[in-house]
Amino acid sequence: MWGEKNINAYLAVFFTLLVLGFLFHQDPGFAGSLPGHILGIIGAIFILMTLIYPFRKRILKKKGKQNPLDTHITYGFVGASLAVIHSAHKLESTIGILIFLSIVLVVLSGIVGRYLFRKVNKSVKEQQRDYNLLKSRIEHQKKEMRAVWQSETTGDSTEEATEAPQHWIEDWGRLFEEMRALAEIEYNMRFFDRLKNLFTRWMRVHHLITIVLFAMMIVHVMTTLYYGLRWLP
């Protein structure tokens, strides 16, 4: 029940409810208060921790037993949720609006890239397995048919060999159906492979929006420090 994947599902629902809270709640003073800044700092830390996954994958080239992508998603949901709570559903500055929009787009693009890409990748692997099994079965069937044909035609006269036995016709019919099924699987594999490449490009959009988010976060922190912290004496 409390597996990491289930936790991410709960966090996704929680984040969605927080975003919908903009329709019902606004607090213009909470973001600049001490509790608001604490939540904002913790949220920023969690968002920064999402960089652990691409760093391990791209730079260190490490692959652990557990899937670090699930942890990456957890950090993203927690950080994004704390950022929305930090805003208290009140966006008064252009930077705040851009950060909020970037967070929503990063989360949405990440969800699309994660779950749809995973399903497409799973379909590609299943079809590749079915393709290999069916191709192996066809090759085995062709060898058996060749062996039967050679054994039955040995010593036959020309007149006897002009008419094919009924079981030959049936065997060739089954072989034709399996070869047609193999061609359909190969066509589907090419389609899903192109779809997989499309989602790979989609993840580049996710990375681009993430870069924009981090840039906006830096500007937000700098402007907050520049104009001062209201809760300091």
Q: Output the pLDDT for position 5.
A: 66
Tokens representing residue 180 in the block: 């047609």
Tokens representing residue 51 in the block: 């960089």
Residue 212 has pLDDT above 80, yes or no: yes
Give pLDDT tens digits for 141-164. Answer: 777 777 777 776 665 544 444 555
Q: What is the mean pLDDT of the chain?
A: 80
Q: What is the mean pLDDT of residues 123-147?
A: 81
What percentage of the chain carries pLDDT values higher than 90? Answer: 14
Pick 142 or 232 by higher pLDDT.
142
Q: Output the pLDDT for position 158.
A: 47
The type of residue at 121 is: N
Pick 103 or 126 by higher pLDDT.
103
Pick 42 or 3 by higher pLDDT.
42
Q: What is the mean pLDDT of residues 201-209?
A: 84
Scanning the structure block, which residue is given the tokens 């950022």?
Answer: 83
Q: Which of 1-10, 35-44, 144-153 has the highest mean pLDDT?
A: 35-44
Closest CA to 134 of 170, 188, 179, 190: 179
User: Which range, of 82-86, 188-192, 211-215, 229-233, averages the lowest pLDDT?
Assistant: 229-233
Give pLDDT tens digits for 78-107. Answer: 999 999 999 888 877 888 888 889 999 999
Q: Cα torsion for 155, 161, 165, 167, to the nearest 10°?
A: 70
Closest CA to 139 of 129, 128, 131, 149: 131
Contact 22, 88 (CB under 8 A): no
What spatial distance separates the first Cα and last Cα of the chain, rounded to whole Å?
47
Q: Output the pLDDT for position 63.
A: 66
Contact 131, 185 (CB under 8 A): yes
